[in-house]
Amino acid sequence: MVQTLWLDARVAQQHKSEDQTDLELIDAINRGDHAAFEALYFRYRDWVIGLAQRFTGDPDTALDVMQETFLYVLRKFPGFKLTANLKTFLYPAVRNLAIASRQKTQRAQSTEGELFEIDRTPAPAETERVSLADLGIVVGLLPEEQRETLLLRFVDGLSLAEIAEASGVPLGTVKSRLHNALKTLREDERTREFFNQ
């Protein structure tokens, strides 16, 4: 059973670099500033672990992937050049490490709807109210590339260009995947209501 963790005040105080941009933190880390690395770590730790869990479906494996990801990042310094959103750099690293980890543990998760811890009991047919469970089911049934594009765009907040760079595919491919994912959700009777404002 996973538990919610909140940073305590003591930890928050240690990160005096919270106001610095990613670029400023990267520059400081390149100069050997350990406190800057610590700030960057806590800034992205939860996102990385959430993304890892999305790929692995398992909290313990996600923790391992998170550790490996930051050790991978650490080895890029000094000399690391940030040319875009840091998430576009982290995303492929997390994905590749998660896939490798998943294969290693031979706990391949189904890509159909098992990545979300929600109640999957279908809503009663007579209700027109769309439940989160229905959304989870339909999203889970999307092809993996479409689902990832959808989540990167609307959950992780990446732009289409950033998604293209992170995924290593052309921008047109990203647009096509996103378009098809939204089209599926729009046309599915279980999720159509989400498009009614």
Which residue of 28, 93, 97, 139 would you call a contact of other proteins, by CB under 8 A? Answer: 139
Which residue of 22, 27, 41, 72 would you call a contact of other proteins, by CB under 8 A? Answer: 41
Between 57 and 88, CB nearer to other proteins: 57
28 touches other proteins by CB under 8 A: no
Count other Cβ atoms within 10 Å, centred on residue 192. 14
C-alpha angle 46/42/150, rounded to 5°?
A: 35
Segments in the chain forming alpha helices (H): 9-14, 22-30, 34-56, 59-74, 86-105, 132-141, 144-154, 160-167, 171-187
Site for other proteins in 48-107 (CB under 8 A): 49-50, 53-54, 59, 62-63, 66-67, 70-71, 74-75, 77-78
CA-closest candidate to residue 133, choices 148, 150, 113: 113
Which residue of 114, 144, 154, 171 would you call a contact of other proteins, by CB under 8 A? Answer: 154
- For the CB of residue 166, give the shortest distance to other proteins in the complex, in Å: 16
- For the CB of residue 19, give the shortest distance to other proteins in the complex, in Å: 20
